[in-house]
Amino acid sequence: MQGKIILITGATNGIGKETALGLARMGAHVAIVGRSRERLDATAQEISADAAVKRMGGAVETFAADLSLMADVRALADAFRAKHDRLHVLINNAGAVFNERQVSADGHEMTFALNHLSYFLLTNLLLDTLIQTGQPGANARIVNVSSDAHQSVREMRFDDLQLERKYTMFTAYGQSKLANILFTTELARRLAGKPVTVNVLHPGFVATGFGKNNSGIMTTIFSVLQLFARTPEQGAATSIYLASSPEVETVTGEYFAKSKSARSSAAAHDADAARRLWTISEGMVAVNTPTVVA
pLDDT level of residue 231 (50, 70, 90 thresholds): confident
Q: What is the mean pLDDT of the chain?
A: 91
Q: Would you say the pTM of this structure is higher than 0.75? A: yes
pLDDT (tens digit per residue) in 4-32 = 999 999 999 999 999 999 999 999 999 99
The domain segmentation of the chain, as residue ranges, is 5-285
Residue 211 is predicted with a pLDDT of: 46
Fold of 5-285: Rossmann fold (3.40.50)
Residue 136 is predicted with a pLDDT of: 86
**56 pLDDT higher than 80:** yes
pLDDT (tens digit per residue) in 128-154 = 999 999 998 899 999 999 999 999 999
Contact indicator for 33, 8 with CB cutoff of 8 Å? yes
Alpha-helix residue ranges (DSSP H) falling in the chain: 14-24, 37-49, 51-56, 70-83, 110-112, 118-133, 169-190, 217-225, 232-244, 271-285
Q: Which of 119, 167, 173, 255 is catalytic?
A: 173
Which DSSP string do the residues of 180-249 spell out, in sequence order? HHHHHHHHHHHTTTSSEEEEEEE--SB-SSTTTTS-THHHHHHHHHGGGSBPHHHHHHHHHHHHH-GGGS
Residue 53 is predicted with a pLDDT of: 96
Is 173 assigned a catalytic role?
Answer: yes
**288 pLDDT higher than 80:** no
Share of the chain above pLDDT 70, in %: 89
